[in-house]
């Protein structure tokens, strides 16, 4: 126990002396949480729309006004010809172009139907799909309005159906509510994985590893001495990030805070163990950094942070079984937003526990202590 305490004190002293590293471990993740939460936003707003009005009727003006006064759309003006509309889409000046054909109002009155054309820039397929959904909702609303006014339903022949939506767990439909819990746990891997990966290999480069090898410190004591300081600093960073999420982004914490910290603690043990394993396998800090960066990118892309894992190919879902970030993001979102308890999160907990045990045992075994 005394030897472990010696290693922990030694590690903390090195971190405190290195002010750049200390700032990177504490301040940088919090800044990244703030920046990523604002930047990683897939909400589609400020869609630019132009109109080619070939009818110039009252109904045409009413339809255009539906688009002009919706917050998601920004009206950029009327275009005199269809060719100019295509040019606006080509040069990126417009995201959508609404084309109202001649005799639009007349066809509605005489034939009880009319057509409009909606041109959408679909370079970004996800954005185009959402924009098309917004536009279709506006067109359906316009259609319902004019039919109620001009083609009323006779008494006793039918009734209107009213739908009221209830959005659970994210009632304001804010994408940050979905992203912040994931980013909060994703940043823990920076302290646990990236910085810890540089630790043992740094000892090799500066020559202190040989000094430790001739001491009576055992393998597990060495790993614990390296593990505990980073876990403590990681929990401090997690606390700061959680406060930022709650106070700045108004992220609800519906579930147990103690359970959230239990998962964060287990995840940090896993990440630091992974970093120490990478460090013990590397000969230089450059090698350790590249290996840690590869793991970090791999984990993030397959974690479900940005897109659902259920929509990934089957082979990716199989590979995802060894992705700790997938389990911690699922647990974090469910506990914070839905109020899930330990019984609900048992699969994620035991998956993280198994991965943490395996990684730390490998790190302890791979550490070659020569006396």
Q: Please state the CATH superfamily assignment of the domain spanning residues 47-150 in this structure.
A: abc type-2 transporter like domain (3.40.1710.10)
pLDDT tens-digit readout, 179-195: 888 888 888 887 777 77
Q: Residue range 133-158: average pLDDT?
A: 74
- Does residue 322 or residue 6 have the better pLDDT? 322
* Residue 288 predicted with pLDDT over 90: no
Contact status, residue 93 vs residue 48, Cβ threshold 8 Å = yes
C-alpha closest to that of 67 among 55, 53, 80, 54: 53
| 342 pLDDT higher than 90 | yes
Confidence band, pLDDT 50/70/90 cuts, at residue 108: confident
**Order of strands across the sheet that contains 73-78:** 73-78, 47-53, 96-100, 117-120
Which pair of structure tokens corresponds to residue 71? Answer: 């917050």
> Please, where in the chain does CATH 3.40.1710.10 lie?
47-150
pLDDT for residue 370: 45
| Range in 146-160, 289-303, 308-322 the model is least confident about | 146-160
Quick: pLDDT tens for 36-47.
Answer: 777 766 677 788
- Are the beta carbons of 269 and 360 closer than 8 angstroms? yes
- What is this structure's pTM? 0.78
When pLDDT is cut at 50, 70 and 90, the band that residue 347 belongs to is: very high
Mean pLDDT across the chain, nearest whole number? 83
Q: Is the pLDDT of residue 371 over 50?
A: no
Residue 157 has pLDDT above 50, yes or no: no
**pLDDT at residue 168, rounded to an integer:** 83
Lowest mean pLDDT among 224-233, 296-305, 324-333: 224-233
Phi and psi at residue 73, to the nearest 5°: -115, 145
pLDDT for the residue 280: 80
């Amino acid at each position: 126990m005394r030897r472990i305490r010696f290693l922990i004190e030694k590690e903390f002293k090195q971190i405190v002396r290195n002010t750049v590293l200390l700032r990177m471990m504490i301040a940088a993740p919090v800044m990244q949480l703030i920046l990523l939460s604002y930047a990683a936003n897939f909400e589609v707003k400020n869609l630019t729309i132009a109109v080619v009005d070939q009818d110039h009727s009252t109904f045409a003006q009413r339809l255009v006004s539906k688009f002009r006064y919706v917050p998601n759309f920004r009206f950029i003006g009327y275009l005199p010809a269809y060719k100019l509309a295509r040019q606006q889409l080509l040069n990126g000046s417009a995201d959508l172009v609404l084309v109202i054909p001649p005799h639009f109002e007349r066809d509605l009155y005489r034939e009880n139907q009319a057509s409009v054309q909606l041109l959408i820039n679909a370079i970004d397929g996800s954005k185009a799909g959402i924009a098309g959904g917004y536009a279709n909702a506006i067109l359906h609303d316009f259609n319902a309005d004019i039919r109620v006014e001009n083609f009323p339903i006779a008494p006793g022949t039918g009734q209107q159906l009213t739908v009221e939506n209830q959005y659970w767990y994210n009632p304001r439909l804010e994408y940050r509510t979905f992203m912040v819990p994931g980013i909060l746990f994703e940043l823990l891997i920076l302290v646990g994985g990236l910085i810890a990966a540089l630790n043992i290999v740094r000892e090799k480069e500066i020559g202190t590893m040989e000094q430790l090898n001739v001491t009576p410190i055992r393998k597990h004591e060495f790993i614990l001495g390296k593990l505990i300081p980073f876990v403590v600093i990681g929990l401090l960073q997690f606390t700061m990030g959680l406060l930022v999420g709650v106070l700045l982004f108004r992220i609800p914490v519906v579930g147990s805070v103690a359970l959230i910290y239990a998962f964060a603690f287990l995840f940090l043990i896993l990440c630091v163990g992974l970093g120490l394993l990478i460090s013990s396998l590397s000969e230089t800090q450059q090698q350790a950094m590249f290996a840690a960066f590869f793991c970090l990118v791999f984990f993030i892309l397959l974690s479900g942070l940005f897109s659902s894992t259920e929509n990934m190919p089957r082979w990716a879902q199989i590979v995802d079984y060894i992705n700790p970030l997938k389990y911690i993001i699922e647990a974090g979102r469910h506990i914070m937003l839905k109020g899930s308890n330990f019984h609900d999160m048992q699969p994620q907990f035991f998956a993280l526990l198994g991965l943490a045990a395996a990684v730390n045992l490998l790190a302890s075994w791979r550490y070659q202590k020569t006396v």
